[in-house]
Amino acid sequence: MPCLNEAETVETCVRKTIGFFEDSGIDGEVVIADNGSTDGSQQLARDAGARVVPVVDKGYGNALMGGIRAARGKYVAMGDADDSYDFTTLGPFLDELRDGADLVMGNRFKGGIAPGAMPPLHRYLGNPVLSFVGRLFFGSKIGDFHCGLRAFDRDAILRLGLQTGGMEFASEMVVKATLQKYDIREVPTTLSPDGRTRAPHLNTWRDGWRHLRFLMLYSPRWLFLIPGLVFMTLGLLAGVAISTGPVRIGAIAFDVDTLVGASAALVIGFQAVLFALLTKVYAMQEGFLPHDRRVQRLIDWWGLERGLLTGGLLAIAGLAGLVASLLHWRGHSFGELDPRDSLRIVVPSATALVMSFQVMFASLFVSILGIRRRQHPPLTDAAEEAAGVVDAAAHKVAGERRTVAAGADAAADGEEAEKPAADAAEPAEVAEAAGTPDER
């Protein structure tokens, strides 16, 4: 349970959970991840039977990760310490985990939201919209992305390498688990009004934006690729149609002014598509997103040389158009030109020239990113290194043998020194053994 000044409710939450453990015969513990409480929450939690783990870094996600790392159990359930969730209902979560699930999410919309437990803006707009965006962007089937009560396999969650420190941690866990093809399930859960008299830590607009920002940044397809393709298509179709003459739709005429706008849309869309590719490659390299074979095949096929060649051909086409525009101007004795004629030559030529540099720069940048995947071989050959280890062991054994031999020589010298004294004592011992006639 993450905790920041929850003195009014933390003791109740801890006692409920410990009671659930005892009634269910579960070997468990309650970990309070304290984020710097100043109202005595720590001691109240200890008195109730919890283990308090201080977490210095501020934030909901930081507190939870501190608690998860400190937990000793195979399974971990997380929930707010404000008494809005009933920790005595963790049985279905544990059943799903024992059945093989990696992550079990609560769903408040299926289990029930008590009056006053969730602000209407969150209930009817914020949570539904953000959950829909998460399902759309990542193909998740989770209906309540931000439910604070969830349980999971501790090792499986730690493997995800969760990074966010704020409220968006809730979205990151679901998104990364979905991308890694984890077994994610949902169980209905209820949400009650919290037991605090102070305002909640959650900020509607700030934290809502952080959730949406995270969802967008982790989906280059929806952030860059799809909008870019839409802009490119509209710009290309409009540009081709207007390049030969005005296009009339009823009383409206689209001419060279629209051609300039179509050119801008084409360039912007093309730039967005390139950004989608660059972002995907970078995210794959850094491990933010799982490896995509389609993107890898595209990068391997495209290569720096093909990119430079394609960009060069576009540049030649653009320069040829500019030369044609100069000839057109020369045909008018370098005087005034009708923009409706000259722009139909200049705009497409300039567009091709701009896109040529975009292609070349993007190809160069992808190649720079690719450098990080290649590592130089070690300076020492493995066979030579193994031979060195063997030689060192042989020298060590030889040294030990020399030490043993030196010890043996010293012992032999000592025996030689004692031998004359032994020989001198031998006649007396024989005589004593022979004894006198009377003794015999």
Those residues whose C-beta lies under 8 Å from the C-beta of residue 224, and which sit 6 or more positions away, are 272, 273, 275, 276, 279
Give the tokens for residue 193.
């009004």
Q: How wide is the angle at C-alpha 71 spanned by C-alphas 66 and 74, nearest 5°?
A: 135
- pLDDT reported for residue 427: 43
DSSP designation for 1: -
- Indicate whether 424 pLDDT > 80: no
26: pLDDT strictly greater than 70:
yes
What pLDDT is stored for residue 250 in this prediction? 86
Higher pLDDT, 237 or 299: 237
Task: Identify which has the larger pLDDT, 300 or 408.
Answer: 300
Q: Whole-number mean pLDDT of the chain?
A: 87
The number of C-alpha atoms within 13 Å of 64 and in the hemisphere containing its C-beta is 28
Mean pLDDT of 256-271: 95
Domain ranges of the chain: 2-217, 220-371
The mean per-residue pLDDT over the stretch 351-376 comes to 84
**Which of 122-126, 276-280, 283-287 bottoms out in mean pLDDT, i.e. has the lowest?**
283-287
Give yes or no for residue 434 having a pLDDT over 50. no
- In this predicted structure, which of 208-217, 224-233, 347-356 has the lowest mean pLDDT? 208-217
Q: Of 19, 78, 72, nearest to 11 (Cα)? A: 19
Beta bridge partners of 184: 103
For the cut 80, the answer to whether the pLDDT of residue 334 exceeds it is yes
| Mean pLDDT, residues 244-271 | 92
372: left (phi over 0), alpha (psi -120 to 50) or beta: alpha
Question: Mean per-residue pLDDT for 21-31?
Answer: 96
Nearest to 114 by CA among 10, 189, 170: 189
For residue 371, the model assigns a pLDDT of 76
Tell me which range, 80-89, 203-212, 297-306, is most confidently predicted by mean pLDDT. Answer: 80-89
- Number of Cβ within 10 Å of residue 245's Cβ equals 10
The CATH number fitting domain 2-217, selected from 2.40.50.140, 3.90.550.10, 3.40.50.720, 3.30.565.10: 3.90.550.10
Q: Give the per-residue pLDDT at 94.
A: 96
Give the confidence band of 258 by pLDDT, cuts at 50, 70, 90.
Answer: very high
